[in-house]
Amino acid sequence: MAAIVCKFGGTSVADAGQVRKIESILRADARRRYAVVSALGKRKKEDQKVTDLLYLCHELAAAGLDISEPFHIIRDRHLELAGDLGVNLDVAGLLEEVRKQTQGGASRDFVASRGEYLSGRIVAAYLRARFVDPADGILFTPDGQLDDRTYDRLDGLLKGDGLFVIPGFYGANPDGSIHTFPRGGSDISGAVVARAVRAEAYENWTDVSGFLMTDPRIVPDAMPIREVTYRELRELAYMGATVLQDEAIFPVRQLRIPIHIRNTNAPDDPGTLVLPSRGVSDTGVTGIAGKRGFSMVFIEKALMNKEHGFGRKVLEILESHGISYEHSPTGIDSMSVVIEDEEIAGKEEIIRQEIQRILEPDRVDITSGLALIATVGEGMAYRVGVAARVFTALAQAGVNVRIIDQGSSEINIIVGVDQKDYETAVKALYKAFA
Ligand code: ASP
């Protein structure tokens, strides 16, 4: 029988009541045989996520300081959870081991991974499921990429009947040491497991009923998105829609496994389905997402288009300073490179000087404090007037557009605006396409 992989996020394992909800979700469908879990998340706003506390413990330990204070919170939360669930597991013993390892100089990734390890052990004990440690099955290459051998290895570990619990967020380096995915990476673990077992669906259970057309902090009544394609989701998630980690689609995409984003607290809500393709929406636009915190390097030089290797040299300068870039809209005699603020912070002057010296442009400016907003939709490639609508909406809202970039994928129009105009711009775009 085809199986469904369920990933449960931090709030879905935050306390015993939540874990009981997981139990009913799993028991409601016999195909749900693989549960990937996050570390304990927040029960209420003031709570700290266990992963954040573990990072703090590691930082303190690395500075030779005492970790007791944050570790106590970690300890109490796990003991309380295990106690409330009545699990038969020596959680105090496991915690003591983690404390010793952390204080004893374990690596940052190892310490962070213990959040998922502990929640996985407790949930597995409660559900009487088999616990599979991803350190035995999820493998990374020496440069930190997922090793393709992962899928066969994991599949071998996940054979047999019954329910399996697999902690999210980590795997192992070639030398066996622990390596974590980026933050929010349990979403990627869930996708990796789904691909390994060739699941019929990957259900990602979280605390919202799927994606909304835009950020509800800016547009409180934003409409839900029922269906979205992998490509649209990748663009929306990368641009700040935070429901799913933006790399999570890659493992499942090749096998065309649908991702279903669902709400642990409202399991009957339809959620959002992420599919290889879908029918086109009325406006051609599926969602609007954005991020603050970008800088733009703008270079102008007469007859730039005739000069060989101009773009390469600009990018080489950035590369030599370890800076990766996001977009590069170009004109005939001008070129700009959009970079995340934190990539370029503190290096602006040296970059400016090197560009000046090596490329001798007429002008080079570096502007920070920009926000990028992506209007995303598969339909826009075949529809006339989407761009016109974007710019009319922004102009009517009095927003000055600083950057325009229509990605070559043709499913995305990105505009860059001053950070102060960010919310106004998102609201205007939502109104134009909702
Ligand atoms: N616990 C990790 C984090 O907070 C991974 C995850 O929950 O997806 O980033």
If you write DSSP's letter for every residue of 314-333 in order, what string do you get?
Answer: HHHHHHHTT---SB--B-SS
Specify the CATH number for the domain of residue 367.
3.30.2130.10
Question: Helices 108-127 and 91-103 meet at what angle, rounded to 10?
Answer: 180
Distance of CA 406 to the CA centre of its chain: 23
Which residue has the least CA distance to atom 8 on ligand 1?
Answer: 184
| Cα–Cα dist 47/203, whole Å | 26
**Which SS3 state, helix, strand or coil, does residue 129 take?**
coil
Distance 411 CA to ligand 1 centre (A): 29
Domain that residue 403 falls in:
287-433
Task: Say if residues 63 and 104 touch (Cβ distance below 8 Å).
Answer: no
Residues 122 and 193 in one domain: yes
Q: Which atom of ligand 1 is nearest to the CA of 49?
A: 4
Residues 154 and 300 in one domain: no
Distance 214 CA to ligand 1 centre (A): 23
Q: Which atom of ligand 1 is nearest to the CA of 189?
A: 8
Question: Helices 16-27 and 108-127 meet at what angle, rounded to 10?
Answer: 60
Question: pLDDT averaged over consecutive 10-residue blocks of the chain (434 residues)?
Answer: 93 98 98 98 96 98 96 98 97 98 96 98 98 98 96 96 97 97 97 97 94 92 91 83 85 94 96 86 84 94 89 95 90 91 94 95 94 90 85 95 77 92 97 93
Residues 214 and 246 in one domain: yes
Specify the CATH number for the domain of residue 235.
3.40.1160.10
Mutate to test the pocket of ligand 1, among 49, 109, 247, 264 (most ligand atoms within 8 A of CB): 49
**Which SS3 state, helix, strand or coil, does residue 428 take?**
helix
Q: Which atom of ligand 1 is nearest to the CA of 186?
A: 8
| Cα–Cα dist 424/201, whole Å | 38
Asked whether residue 282 is assigned to any structural domain, the reply reads no
Q: Which atom of ligand 1 is nearest to the CA of 9?
A: 7
Residues 21 and 170 in one domain: yes
Distance of CA 44 to the CA centre of its chain: 22
Where a domain ends, among 275, 307, 341? 275
Mutate to test the pocket of ligand 1, among 116, 205, 206, 261 (most ligand atoms within 8 A of CB): 116
The residue among 186, 386, 190 whose CA lies nearest residue 288 is 386
Pocket lining for ligand 1, CB < 6 angstroms: 10, 38-39, 49, 51, 115, 168-169, 183-187
Where a domain ends, among 212, 244, 275? 275
Distance 317 CA to ligand 1 centre (A): 34
Residues 203 and 297 in one domain: no
The residue among 383, 360, 385, 375 whose CA lies nearest residue 407 is 375
Residues 121 and 58 in one domain: yes
Task: Say if residues 294 and 371 touch (Cβ distance below 8 Å).
Answer: yes
Residues 231 and 266 in one domain: yes
**Which SS3 state, helix, strand or coil, does residue 430 take?**
helix
Q: Which atom of ligand 1 is nearest to the CA of 10?
A: 7
Distance of CA 391 to the CA centre of its chain: 29
Which residue has the least CA distance to atom 2 on ligand 1?
Answer: 184
Asked whether residue 280 is assigned to any structural domain, the reply reads no
DSSP 400: P
Task: Note the pLDDT of residue 47.
Answer: 96
Q: In the chain, how many domains are there?
A: 2
Asked whether residue 157 is assigned to any structural domain, the reply reads yes
Residues 404 and 333 in one domain: yes
Mutate to test the pocket of ligand 1, among 58, 169, 170, 192 (most ligand atoms within 8 A of CB): 169
Task: Note the pLDDT of residue 407.
Answer: 66
Q: Write down the H helix ranges in 11-137.
A: 16-27, 50-62, 68-85, 91-103, 108-127
Distance 204 CA to ligand 1 centre (A): 13
Where a domain ends, among 230, 251, 275? 275
First to last CA, the chain: 40
Report pTM.
0.84
Beta bridge partners of 300: 334, 363
Q: Which atom of ligand 1 is nearest to the CA of 115?
A: 1
Distance 343 CA to ligand 1 centre (A): 23
